[in-house]
Amino acid sequence: MQHFAIVDIETTGSHRAAHAITEVAIIIHDGTKIVDTFQSLINPDASINPYVARMTGITNEMLRDAPRFHEVAKQIWSMTDEAVFIAHSVNFDFTYIRDEFKSLGADFRRKKLCTVRLSRKIFPGHSSYSLGNICTKLGIPIENRHRAMGDAAATVKLFELCLKHDKENIIEKSLKKNSKEAILPPHLPKEVFDGLPEKTGVYYFHDLVGKIIYVGKAVNIKNRIYSHFTGAGAAKLSFTSAIANISYTLCGTELIALLLESDEIKRLYPLYNQAQKRDRGNYILTEYSDNKGIKRLLIAKNHRSLKPFTSFKSFESARENMFQLISEFQLCPKYCGMQTSAGACFDYHIKKCKGVCNGKESIDKYNKRVQLALESFQNSLETKMIIDEGRTWNEKSVVLIENGIYKGFGYFDASEKINSIEKTKSIITPFKHTADIQRILNGWM
C-alpha cells in the first residue's frame, strides 16, 4: 500500500542559503487515514528573523534546548522512507530537508507531490492557492497557523479532498516517472513548461500578476529553465515559488542572447536579477561645439543623449587616450576637459599648443585639427559586422559594432547579401553601448 508523508517545516527565514529549519512536522497517511505523526522543534544554531518569529511564535529561547537536526534525522528518514513526500509548495520544504541530510553525508531522495499544484488542477478557478486562502475557500479549518503541525494537519485535509475529487487521476499521473509536476514551481502550469523551445534565446519569469521578476539567457531555453528547478540550480533561485508564467524571445546566437539579456535587465530592472542590474556606466569620448563655435572634446559617462566616438573600460584609460590626442594634434587641454583654468591653458604658456583658448589661433583652424584627430582616432577603432545564424534556417543575424561602439543587432533573409554599414543600420534594432556590453563583446572576441 502506498503511504504519504505530509510534511511542513518552519525556518529562521525564507532564503535557503542563509537560513535553517526550526520545526518539523510529519503526518503519515495511507490514503485513507492518518497512521503516524512526528513533531519537533529544531535548534538551528542561528537566530530567527524577527518578522518570522512574530509570525510563527517560535523564539530563540524556545529553540535553545531543542534537538539539532542530526538528532532527529534518523526518525525523519525512516518515517519518509518509501513514502511520497507531500507539502504545500513542496520544493521549499523538500529542499531544506534534503540539504540538511546532504550536510550529514546522506542522499535524501523521495517521490514528491505538491498540494499547490494538485489543488490548482483539481479545484481550478481560485484567485489564490496559498494554504490559508485555499483552505478557507474549501472550508478547511487551520489551527496553529504558521506552526509546522498546524499547517501539516491542514495540508492533510487538503490532500484528502484532492484524493476524493481527483476524477482525472491527476495524482497518479503526477507520480509517474516522466512527469515533471513535482519539480516545477507550484504556480507554473506544466503546459507552459512543456511548450518551451530547445533553442537559444532570452527567457522571462513572471509572477502571479504578470510582472517580470527574472531575466536569463540560454543556449537551450527549456534545458536551462529545467536546471533552475532541479539540483544545485534550485538552491540558487530561492524565488521559484513566485514563478507563475514564462515567456521568451528567440535570438539565434548566444552572442545576441547575451547582448539582449544585458539590455533587458537594465530596462526591466527585474526584482531577482542581481548582476548587470545597474548601469555601471562606461566612459566615452564625445564632442560638442560651445557658444563660440569651438569644437570641444569630452570624456563622460555614457548616456543616450550623447554621441559616443568610442568607449573606454575605465576613466584612466579614457584620460590616457585623450592626452595622446592632445599631444599628437596639438589640441587645447582646456577644450578637451583636461584643465579648468580661466585663461589660456598651461600648454599655451609652455608653447605646446597654438592658443585657441587665448585667441591666438582661429577657431576654424583649431576645429579642423579637432576633426582630423577624431577621424584619425575613429580610423584606428574596429568597425565590424558579425554575421551568424538566425532564428530559423532561412534567416541570418547581424551584430553591428561601429568605431568600437555596439550599435545593435537584427535579422535578414539568408538569401540577401549584407555588404555595407548603411545597409546593416537599416536592419538592426539600435541598443545602448554599456560597460557590461563592452565586457560581453571583449569576452566574445
pTM, whole model, 2 decimals?
Answer: 0.70
Task: Tell me, yes or no, if the two domains 3-174 and 190-268 fold the same way.
Answer: no
Phi, psi angle pair for 26, to nearest 5°? -130, 130
Q: Which amino acid appears at position 311 of this protein? A: S
> What pLDDT shows up at residue 238?
66
DSSP class per residue in 47-68:
PPPHHHHHHH---HHHHTTSPP
> What pLDDT shows up at residue 156?
97
- Give the Cα separation of 353 and 165 in Å (integer): 89
- May I ask the CATH architecture of the domain 190-268? 3-Layer(aba) Sandwich (3.40)
- Give the Cα separation of 360 and 2 in Å (integer): 96
Q: Please state the domain extents for the chain.
A: 3-174, 190-268, 283-379, 384-444
3 state DSSP class of 155: helix
DSSP class per residue in 205-256:
EE-TTS-EEEEEEESSHHHHHHHHTSHHHHHH-TTGGG--EEEEEE-SSHHH
> What pLDDT shows up at residue 305?
74
> pLDDT per position in the chain (445 positions), as tens?
789 999 999 999 866 666 799 999 999 999 999 999 999 999 999 899 888 899 999 999 999 999 999 999 999 999 999 999 999 999 889 989 999 999 999 999 999 999 999 999 999 999 899 999 999 999 999 999 889 999 999 999 999 999 999 999 999 988 887 777 878 898 999 999 999 999 999 999 999 999 999 999 999 999 999 988 875 555 555 688 889 999 999 999 999 999 999 999 999 999 998 776 665 557 888 888 988 898 988 888 877 677 777 777 678 888 888 888 888 888 888 888 887 777 666 666 656 677 677 778 888 989 998 888 887 776 666 788 999 999 999 999 999 998 788 999 999 999 998 888 999 999 999 998 887 888 788 778 7
> What pLDDT shows up at residue 230?
79
- Give the Cα separation of 395 and 175 in Å (integer): 42
> What pLDDT shows up at residue 332?
85
Tell me which CATH code domain 3-174 carries.
3.30.420.10
Give the pairing of strands 21-29 and 34-41: antiparallel
Q: What number of CA atoms fall less than 13 Å from residue 244's CA on the CB side? A: 13
Yes or no: say if 123 and 117 are a contact pair by the CB < 8 Å rule. no
